[in-house]
Amino acid sequence: MTGSTFREIRHEDPTDPARRQEILESPGFGRHFTDHMVTMVWTDQEGWHDGRIEPYGPFRLDPAAAVLHYGQEIFEGLKAYRHPDSSIWGFRPEANAHRFNRSARRMALPEFPAEDFLSAVELLVAKDRQWVPDGDEQSLYLRPFMFAEESFLGVRPARRIRFCVIASPVGAYFSQGVEPVSIWLSTNYTRAARGGTGAAKCGGNYAAGLAAQQEASAHGCDQVCFLDAADQRWVEELGGMNLFFVHDDGLLVTPELTGTILEGITRSSIIELAKEQGLEVVERRVDIDEWQRGMADGRIREVFACGTAAVITPVGRLVWDGGEATAPSGTSAGPQDSVWGRLRSALIDIQWGRTADTHGWMRRFC
């Protein structure tokens, strides 16, 4: 397949430029969508076909569509960044394309060729380029996804699948400057077990985490941290972000990938940047006891979470059933005096084109 795989269906009534400008001034997160979307269909008979770039709008979905019953679905999340010269770039989109296919294999979905993933995303960004905001830390969030569209209630991999990419302008995650988040340690729920879907980016993982998120909110916390399912002892990750710990000897520690943790692209980029900044990085198991005690006695100086949406978020407080520990001094230090702050600056400077991309991470969309 090539770029011409996607046939253009003209939009008769795109958003009024004044209205678009109003949205771009204060986009929020995931509330507003651009004028177009890219779609494609897969059937076991024909493979991938009927690629389109068409007006954004609802699907006609049969009530028996398998995704509504058995949740056969995956997604990705990445951003398009407007650089100072107004060109628009993606951050490691090839990594998203490959992860999408790892998720597809786990959920018995057909793979989507990486070059088509990239051209679908590129096509949508180019078409809706006026929707890419230029404010501080603003971007166009891209959401490729794939789901079982076949109408059939039997339990087997669906034979008709839809791929789609939509785009949403998003503002700075922290509108008032970066604020430390509080985390609820979930012991009633786990996110992923060995052999399960923890390493796949699928909607089901998020659905399974919502009750834990409600529990977190009820305890006044922003996010949930999950422990491993087998021993309820090893720190895994938050519902949608990976975790890092800065030790007092300068060591940067992150839970190793065990098959139950989602392999974040932000996580792997931070590991590389930290090494360049002279930090020693260790991927290993992290005992929850080590975190609780380390926060209290200062052995752990900073804790932060990372993911595409918020980039890096310092953790200010860990709360559990029967206790809590508050931010080690490093977390509350200003961005310039902290490890998380320096890593965050290094990463966003690359993404928004303010510094040289020495890793070849950026890909020009248009």
Ligand X SMILES: *Cc1c(COP(=O)(O)O)cnc(C)c1O
How far is residue 213's CA from residue 226's CA, in Å, rounded to a whole number? 10
Candidates 82-90, 151-159, 235-243, 350-358: pick the segment binding ligand X (CB under 6 A).
Answer: 235-243
Check residue 127 for interaction with ligand X (CB under 6 A).
no
The pattern of x and - marking residues 172 through 211 that bind ligand X according to CB under 6 A reads -----------------------------x----------
The residue among 15 and 266 lying less far from ligand X, judged by its C-beta, is 266
- Closest approach, Cβ 250 to ligand X, in A, equals 24
Structure tokens at 311: 């980039």
Tokens 């890909």 correspond to 363
Q: Please identify which residue in 15, 119, 190, 308 interacts with ligand X, judged by CB under 6 A.
A: 308
Q: How far apart are CA 149 and CA 135, in angstroms?
A: 38
Amino acid residing at 189: Y
Instruction: Pull the structure tokens for residue 71.
Output: 């949740």
Element (H, E) at 20: helix 17-25
Q: 208 — phi, psi (to 5°)?
A: -70, -20
Nearer to ligand X, 204 or 335 (CB): 204
**98 vs 219, beta carbon nearer ligand X:** 98
Based on the shown chain and the rule CB under 6 A, indicate whether residue 150 belongs to the binding site for ligand X. no
Does position 265 bind ligand X by CB under 6 A? yes
Of 178, 212, 241, 339, which lies in the binding site for ligand X, with binding defined by CB under 6 A?
241
Question: Considering just the CA atoms, what is the radius of gyration of the chain in Å?
Answer: 21
What is the 3-class SS of 172-206, one letter each residue? CCCCCCCCCEEEEEECCCCCCCCCCCCCCCCHHHH
Task: Find the binder of ligand X among 72, 103, 190, 266 (CB under 6 A).
Answer: 266
* Site for ligand X contains 77 (CB under 6 A): yes
Mark residues 310-329: x for contact with ligand X by CB under 6 A, - for none. Answer: --------------------
Q: How is the chain split among helix, strand and coil, in percent rounded to 5?
A: 30, 30, 40
Interaction between residue 36 and ligand X (CB under 6 A): no
Give the x/- contact pattern for ligand X in 243-262, rule: CB under 6 A.
Answer: -------------------x
x-or-dash string of contact with ligand X, 288-307, rule CB under 6 A: -------------------x
Q: How many CB atoms lie within 10 A of CB 325?
A: 18
Query: How far apart are alpha carbons 153 and 66 in whole angstroms?
Result: 6
The CA distance from 251 to 281, in Å, is: 6
The residues binding ligand X (CB under 6 A) are 77, 201, 237, 240-242, 262, 264-267, 307-308
